[in-house]
Amino acid sequence: MDHFQYRDGELCAESVPLARIAAEVGTPFYCYATATLERHYTVFADAFEGLDTLICFAVKANSNIAVLRTLARLGAGADVVSGGELKRALVAGVAPDGIVFSGVGKTRQEMAEALAAGVRQINVESEPELEALGEVARAAGVTAPVAIRVNPDVDARTHAKIATGKSENKFGVAWTRAHEVYARAAAMDGIDIVGIAVHIGSQITDLEPFRDAYVRVRDLVATLRADGHPIESLDVGGGLGIPYGDDPVPSPAEYGTMVRTLLGDVDCRIILEPGRVIAGNAGILVTRVLYMKEGATRHFAIVDAAMNDLLRPALYDAVHAIMPVTEAAGEARLQEMDVVGPICETGDTFASGRPLPPLEADDLLAIRTAGAYCAVMASSYNSRPLVPEVLVNGDAFAVVRETIPVDTLLAHEPLPDWLASPATAGRRAARAAR
């Protein structure tokens, strides 16, 4: 369920007409519904009621500070994968004890920042990283709380670019070497073993891969404890998928039942890292039709959003539902059309052959399920400005990330001295020619 519904023929975010936001903010823009964020977090948390859990929202899914603060007020922690995300989580009000620092390529500076902040744990992904973290911790005179990320060699049955738990993936240490790596960690000064971490991928729509991974990790908990390691936490990652179309996906309640059945008796705090399942359907991208174009064989709706604003269709062949902001008349005949952006690449396509009601220039469209892995992946490709983000709460809305205009982008590109003036450049070119 989300809170983007038609009211009197106009698509609204909660109680705010999207056309009103477009008139005040301009297009394109991202829009998030507080009510959906809160509902999805609550439904997810309720699925684990009675278990000792910590729910750490995956900041990589949506790193907007207002979104993070909305979830932090409900009790969410944060799963971060960079120093920048750590700063965002702290600014948003997430308690350091609720932050898990993940990521396969942490720098020493990021390690130092995480230790200085006092995060709950650092999920180590390799032996070289373990050595580096030990050195950083000793230099700072502190002990690093560590969970080793184990790669269980489980196929998540998801898109190849977001599968992370197979043996050929870059993430974690092989589960068959966990005994050896934990023994090495236990012997190191500056390292305090606190748990195990596992994460097999994103947008997983079948519970079986989770089950396979969790059984393997559950057995590993027993083995490591028998070796004398104090395993206090079990970070089972995130990855629960959401519906982008009509295909059924497991509910948080079904996922919670599986976790409870497999891991409820391991005597660990269970750390969960949901991202997409919380934020995905809580956001949309609103765009305006620039032109309707009749091609030789296809009909095109050219809109003012582009692949730099929403990369998922170009990168993952992702399918996002698209609907007009003004509700079509009941008798409107649908027409297959391609919804495309202005960038000079065929990949700048949001939908191909999509049945839509008749459209005209200046009509507004809403691209749905755009609350996760959309705004965070945006770029200024083609020197296009980064678009604003809006948060709605009931009948109120606020811009929670302002447009980053081209002039601001250009201001961060200083010329070197030899290009500072045309005259200087000309003299240098003449000398080079001699």
Q: 190-226, pLDDT tens digit by residue?
A: 999 999 999 888 788 889 988 988 998 999 999 999 9
**So what's the pLDDT on residue 247?**
77
CATH of domain 35-277: 3.20.20.10
Question: Comparing 95-99, 165-169, 256-260, which segment has the lowest mean pLDDT?
Answer: 165-169
Question: Comparing 92-96, 121-125, 178-182, 183-187, which segment has the lowest mean pLDDT?
Answer: 178-182
Closest of 183, 194, 279, 289 to residue 240, by C-alpha: 279
Contact 185, 221 (CB under 8 A): no
Q: What is the mean pLDDT of residues 253-272?
A: 95
Tens digits of per-residue pLDDT, 121-152? 999 999 999 999 999 999 999 999 999 999 87
**So what's the pLDDT on residue 152?**
79
Res. 25: pLDDT tops 60: yes
Angstrom distance (rounded) from CA 35 to CA 274: 17
Q: What is the mean pLDDT of residues 50-68?
A: 97
- Residue 102: Cβ-neighbour burial (10 angstroms; 0-12, 13-18, 19+): buried
Long-range contacts of 38-41 (CB under 8 A, 24+ apart): 38/70, 38/74, 39/1, 39/3, 40/277, 40/278, 40/279, 40/281, 40/282, 41/71, 41/74, 41/76, 41/278
Q: What is the mean pLDDT of residues 304-332?
A: 93
**Amino acid identity, position 366:** A
The model's pTM is: 0.92
* Residue in 12, 31, 56, 344 annotated catalytic: 344
CATH of domain 4-14+20-28+280-403: 2.40.37.10
Res. 168: pLDDT tops 60: no
Q: Can you give the length of the chain in residues?
A: 434
**So what's the pLDDT on residue 331?**
78
Higher pLDDT among residues 267 and 166, named by residue:
267
Res. 319: pLDDT tops 80: yes
Angstrom distance (rounded) from CA 259 to CA 265: 10
**So what's the pLDDT on residue 159?**
44
Active site residue 31: no
Res. 165: pLDDT tops 80: no
Query: At how many degrees (to 10) do helices 127-140 and 108-117 cross?
Result: 50
Say what percent of the chain tops pLDDT 90. Answer: 79
Res. 365: pLDDT tops 70: yes
Q: What is the mean pLDDT of residues 338-366?
A: 96
Contact 347, 315 (CB under 8 A): no
Tens digits of per-residue pLDDT, 370-393? 999 999 999 999 999 999 999 999
Angstrom distance (rounded) from CA 125 to CA 418: 45
Res. 163: pLDDT tops 90: no
Domain boundaries, the chain: 4-14+20-28+280-403, 35-277
Question: Comparing 237-246, 320-329, 409-418, which segment has the lowest mean pLDDT?
Answer: 237-246
Average pLDDT score over the chain: 92
**So what's the pLDDT on residue 425?**
55
**So what's the pLDDT on residue 155?**
53
Would you place residue 429 in the very low, low, confident or very high pLDDT band (cuts 50, 70, 90)? low
28 preceded by a cis bond (ω within 30 of 0): yes
